[in-house]
Structure 1
């Protein structure tokens, strides 16, 4: 496509913002629309582990995106920090998985994929993480796993995007439907009026399925609620991420500790609940008993864009010229964003794709 064309990106989470950033840095004119403030949904609510929680349980399609993104994240963070002065804090701590039922599968996956994950004696985990609970018997460890401080990533991305020429950002601007002329999508309708573009990208997270339904298309992306809690401890309290029984503890550089998360099918209701708070506190204390004496300084819920097998939709919508998808990342939007958005830009611009796009193509999946 030519550089004079305008791309409308529907959704201002990490996927929408990074999609827009990649296109704008190639000289395209980009308009980003968000129903609220950018990055305030699952991009803000998540934990930011730069790995699927259990990477060996995912398909090769998710693995390919995850590996590319994990390798790319440090340079993305450095680029954004240099451009904006806002550090996304990609913090490499390593990750211990404790008492896995499928440890053998994890080790076989690591050997097959060439990832530095290995079995360790649980005593070495306790040496590395002295605050770890006593109730664990087995451990595996991957040293190079990082976490990104997602609210700062969003802030940095927004600032970097707005510093580029040809970028317009409209917040509090809910998209109500698509403008269709002939067989093509030529823009969107919003409460503030029409926004037209030569290409329209749907990157609206948990809301993507609802929006595509306005065209009579069934996109199996639905909201999946997740709740988290936050503690504030000393900066050296927890040195490493730990994960057991589906719950995790993530240390930030300043001593904040995130504990997550629940998986709830409650539609678009993201009200935090007392039952989830109690459950998350219990998991926190099982992982790290000293948190029994720490104050919960935050408790929130977000809506993940649930999709079959967590495989995102990246590419053209068949039968609707000008309409593209970059959505449906489920629990791994922050993990997969760099690869997903680079792949998307390659497809839209007609460049050689960084990874095989076939598994993510909407054709045959909607």
Structure 2
């Protein structure tokens, strides 16, 4: 294989392009807006599913591989590009969980460091935590990655490669089909041909597959977040309670998220969500009552059944590959997902069993 078109310039598309380009393949990366400006920019960047014990083994396998990969990966990006993705190991406290026993049982089974701690210890470690919480569990090794910096670093790494072309603000409208094969894509600026096409367009992936008469069960799920700016030492750990979380960045920015809304492709931030997120922020961290909200935005997650991504070739359409449908965990799962796709396309033994992610049997059939 000599050339590939990658459709979608989020974290998944960027990293897929980087891994393929490193093998000498010529890559054209096409993004309908600006690279990394959709879900990858809007998310929180916790390098763990929010509740890892609630997911299937398929998601767990990708998450574990990626978590071990991230620190070295981020350091390499910093050395190569001068842009620091800021992988920040803070640990994470979950407070007053209904399924704490299941969480601890999962950790014991998977060999992950997750412990029940006395609530007094949580208050000692996170002195700004709101009152009234009764129980806590703690995962000390969890990091967050500053996702806007990560996509900036990935973009810089690709821009430095002579065998990569980035085409932004170039919407894809369909696929080139010849002799039963997918041979490229159709864009507003004309056809772009390649031996293979990788569809990594997040929440928009299903819309493109409809042009082939296929129905991919990936839909947009809106998430809104707010941002505060505090002292650098204000919040030493991530905390999560009642479905909402607080994430500290190294420079004192505090992210509060997030909503889960099924509103189609509408990305408009709403006053209701702002009020709800502020209430959650002040319940978790009462000192934020006196802090200014310095950002409020919305993004569209690529919702999928059980959050299991689609990774592999589309049956009946040789030459078309999927790497999409990561739901709430695109940044967590990106390294493993992209390496698995590269393995499947190029032939080495896959890093993990690819069967759970295969599109075969998971596409909802032809559209009438």
**Which bracket does the TM-score occupy, shorter chain normalised?**
over 0.9
Q: CA deviation at 1:238?
A: 0.2
Is the partner of 2:212 in helix, strand or coil?
coil
Counterpart of 2:84 in 1: which secondary structure?
A: coil
Rounded to whole Å, the distance in 1 between the matches of 2:291 and 2:274 is: 14
Structure 1: stretches of 5+ with no match in the other structure: none
**1:353 alignment partner in structure 2:** 350
- Aligned partners of 1:97 and 1:243 also within 8 Å: yes
| Conserved? CA contact 1:66–1:339, under 8 Å | yes
Residue aligned with 1:238, SS: coil
TM-score by length of 1: 0.99
| Residue in structure 1 matching 2:290, options 261, 269, 293 | 293
Q: Report the 3-state secondary structure (helix = DSSP H, G, I; strand = E; otherwise coil) of the residue aligned with 1:173.
A: coil
Question: TM-score, length-normalised on structure 2?
Answer: 0.98
The residue aligned with 1:7 is: 4
> Cα deviations across residues 304-358 of structure 1 (Å, max 9, x unaligned)?
0000000000000001010000000000000000000000100000111001100
Partner of 2:60: helix, strand, or coil? helix
In 2: Cα distance, 1:223 partner to 1:183 partner = 30
Among candidates 83, 89, 94, match of residue 92 of structure 1 = 89
Provide the C-alpha distance between the structure 1 equivalents of 2:317 and 2:212, rounded to a whole number of angstroms.
9
CA distance in 2, matches of 1:354, 1:63: 14
**Shift, 1:362, TM fit:** 0.3
Q: CA RMSD in A?
A: 0.4
State how 1:1-366 maps to structure 2 within 5 Å: 2=1, 5-366=2-363
Query: Equivalent residue of 2:170, what SS?
Result: coil
SS of the counterpart of 1:187?
strand
Give 3-state SS (helix, strand or coil) of 2:300's partner. strand
CA distance in 2, matches of 1:199, 1:75: 30
2:160 & 2:352 partners in 1: Cα distance? 29
1:97 partner SS = strand
Contact 1:24 1:165 (8 Å CA) reproduced: no
Q: How far does the alpha carbon of each residue in 1:253-303 deviate from its partner, in whole angstroms, 9 at most, with x for none? A: 000000000000000000000000000000000000000000000000000
Kept in 2: contact 1:52–1:332 (CA 8 A): yes
Count how many residue pairs are aligned between Structure 1 and Structure 2: 363
Q: Is the 8 A contact 1:8 1:200 kept in 2?
A: yes
Gaps of 5+ in 2: 364-368
In structure 2, what is the Cα distance between the partners aligned to 1:136 and 1:9? 46
1:165 is displaced (CA, Å) by 2.3
- What per-residue deviation string (whole Å, max 9, x for no partner) do you get for residues 36-92 of structure 1? 000000000000000000000000000000000000000110110000000000000
Q: Return the offset for 1:182.
A: 2.2
Runs of 4+ in 1 over 4 A off after TM superposition: none
- 1:214 is paired with a residue whose SS is helix
Q: CA deviation at 1:164?
A: 1.5
In the TM superposition, residue 162 of structure 1 has moved relative to its aligned partner by: 1.3
Q: Secondary structure at the match of 1:354?
A: coil
CA deviation profile, 1:88-111 (whole Å, cap 9, x unmatched): 000000000000000000000000
Q: Distance in 2 between matches of 1:109 and 1:148?
A: 24
What is the distance in 1 between the residues matched to 2:249 and 2:214? 41
Counterparts of 2:300 and 2:16, CA distance in 1: 20
SS in 2 for 1:75: helix
